[in-house]
């Protein structure tokens, strides 16, 4: 299964890639929303982990663009700037999970498995 990581911080992309690779997932990483959309166009993506704060647009807007392209990719929003309002907005817009940084690695994997199994 190919998991797309979208985060503007190289260190976070590396950490997430490592965690997921160790659990047997294949990983594609994007620094920008534009790069993420390009990856989605050319590769089958099983799920996405999208950071809220990106350089071009925020993660909610990226998720909306992915959906407008007709892609129904199970997605999780991660953020270091969490709030109840953001969590509610993420879940209402269709994200399967909302996770605040710093996160527990096992919780991240558990949420990812749930997202992959949800209809």
Residue 118 confidence class, pLDDT cut points 50, 70, 90: confident
Partners of 28 in beta bridges: 4
Per-residue pLDDT tens digits for 11-42: 999 999 999 999 999 999 999 999 999 999 99
Asked whether 47 and 71 are in contact (CB, 8 A), the reply is: no
pTM of this prediction?
0.96
pLDDT value of position 115: 93
Contacts within 8 Å (CB) and 24+ apart, 89-96: 89/60, 90/52, 90/59, 90/60, 93/60, 93/63, 93/64, 94/63, 94/67, 95/63
Residues 40-79 pLDDT 10s: 999 999 999 999 999 999 999 999 999 999 999 999 999 9
Show the domains of the chain with their CATH numbers: 2-117 (3.40.50.2300)
């Amino acid at each position: 299964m190919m998991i797309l990581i979208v985060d503007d911080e190289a260190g976070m992309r590396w950490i997430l890639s490592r965690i997921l690779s160790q659990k047997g997932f294949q990983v594609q990483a994007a620094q920008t929303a534009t790069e993420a959309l390009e990856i989605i166009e050319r590769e089958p993506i099983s799920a996405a982990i999208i950071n809220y704060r990106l350089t071009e647009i925020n993660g909610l807007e990226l998720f909306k663009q992915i959906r407008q392209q007709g892609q129904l990719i199970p997605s999780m929003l991660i953020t270091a700037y969490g709030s109840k309002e953001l969590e509610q907005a993420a879940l209402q817009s269709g994200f399967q999970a909302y996770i605040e940084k710093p996160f527990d690695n096992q919780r991240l994997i558990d949420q990812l498995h749930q997202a992959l199994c949800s209809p």
